[in-house]
Amino acid sequence: FCMLANHEIPTNVVYEDDKIFCFYDAEPQAPVHVLLVPKKHITGLDDVKEEDQALLGYMMFKIHEIAAQLGLENG
């Protein structure tokens, strides 16, 4: 995901800012399937630090906005 967020691999971007990167899944499992990742490298949830709380909260907040932008409901 880091290479996608750093634009080293081309992808279809849905949303991007200085903290997060959202893009369409290359192998979608639903009619609309996007992935949202932090730009900060976090290997997995086991590696989340206390300092990452604000970033993860920000991601949860932005999901609603991105879903609305895509015309999604209840998802």
In angstroms, the Cα distances linking 45 to 9, 18, 63 are: 24, 21, 18
Q: Give the residue carrying structure tokens 């409901």.
A: 73
For the chain of 75 residues, list the mean pLDDT of each consecutive stretch of 10. Answer: 81 94 92 93 92 96 94 80
- Distance (Å, rounded) from C-alpha 25 to C-alpha 36? 10
- Distance (Å, rounded) from C-alpha 54 to C-alpha 48? 11
- Identify the pLDDT of residue 65: 94
Q: Token pair of 4, please?
A: 């996608």
**pTM (2 decimals)?**
0.84
- Identify the pLDDT of residue 75: 60
Q: Token pair of 41, please?
A: 């490298």
